Amino acid sequence: MNDEPPSPSSNAVKYKRIVLKLSGEVLRGGKSGDPIDAPTLQAICNQIKEIHALGVQICVIIGGGNIFRGLQGSKQGVDRTTGDYMGMLATVINGLAIMDCLEKLGVTTRVQSAIPMNQIGEPFILRRAVRHLEKGRVVIFVAGTGNPYFSTDTTAALRASEMRADIIMKATKVDGIYDKDPVLHPDAVKYDELTFLDALKQRLSVMDSTAFSLCLDNNVPILVFDLSDEHAIRKAIAGEKVGTLVHA
């Protein structure tokens, strides 16, 4: 497999190094309802391949909510810490699915896990992760931060700060941030852009508070967008108006 980094086509690329945060739910299929739906996974990986070919350095942080969330587990009687480890393991399953799919599309990947599991991936080593990006490999970070009581949004904020990424692209099933819940309120208004301060003042939930404060403190912009458009990520990379951008 070709391991050379693709040559960057700078006019199509506004962000050179990105953290792409995928919530676990984006892998769930509409038709099959499977936690990891093959056509949905393929469509997402095609989008990653498309921006990889533009020379963008990509870190993928994958959630696990399509399989297990510690908080939900604790409501059903599972010890919170145990449940959080179960959630982190769910991200490993999702990460391996993404790895497999991307490799089959000809994109070289490396999986780095915050909980060492040598048979499955490398341990998280910052300098090695940066080197992978420089060599044109997509780095998939799994097992969250490795600590219970955190989220994969916080992982994205942490890794983006450590890796000095230009932006966190948070792909969800909603097409941006609204002044109120668009499902409950048909008159909800979507924001194109927001400052961190606006988001705080209006108590808008962009990410959980730990993740949001990390982005605020380290000045990492966040783009919240919907993945269902098959070129959504490329459009976002080109700086087209997609989703909601939260910045300093």
Among 111, 152, 207, 243, binds ligand UDP (CB under 6 A): 152
Does the footprint of ligand UDP cover residue 35 (CB under 6 A)?
A: no
If one asks whether residue 144 binds ligand UDP (CB under 6 A), the answer comes out as: yes
Judged by CB under 6 A, the chain residues 67 through 86 that form the site for ligand UDP are 69-71, 83-84
Quick one: which of 109, 112, 151, 244 contacts ligand UDP (CB under 6 A)? 151
Q: What is the DSSP string of the chain?
A: ---SPPPP-GGG-S-SEEEEEE-GGGGS-TTT--SS-HHHHHHHHHHHHHHHTTT-EEEEEE--TTT--HHHHHHTT--HHHHHHHHHHHHHHHHHHHHHHHHHTT--EEEEESS--TTTSEEP-HHHHHHHHHTTPEEEEESTTSSTT--HHHHHHHHHHHTT-SEEEEEESS-SEESS-TTT-TT--EESEEEHHHHHHTT--SS-HHHHHHHHHHT--EEEEES-STTHHHHHHTT-S-SEEEE-
- Min CB(149)–ligand UDP separation in Å: 6
Residue from 19, 59, 88, 102 binding ligand UDP (CB under 6 A): 88
Q: State which residue has the least CB distance to ligand UDP.
A: 63
User: With respect to ligand UDP, which residue has the nearer C-beta, 36 or 58?
Assistant: 36
Positions in the binding site for ligand UDP (CB under 6 A): 23-25, 63-65, 69-71, 83-84, 87-88, 90-91, 144-145, 147-148, 150-155
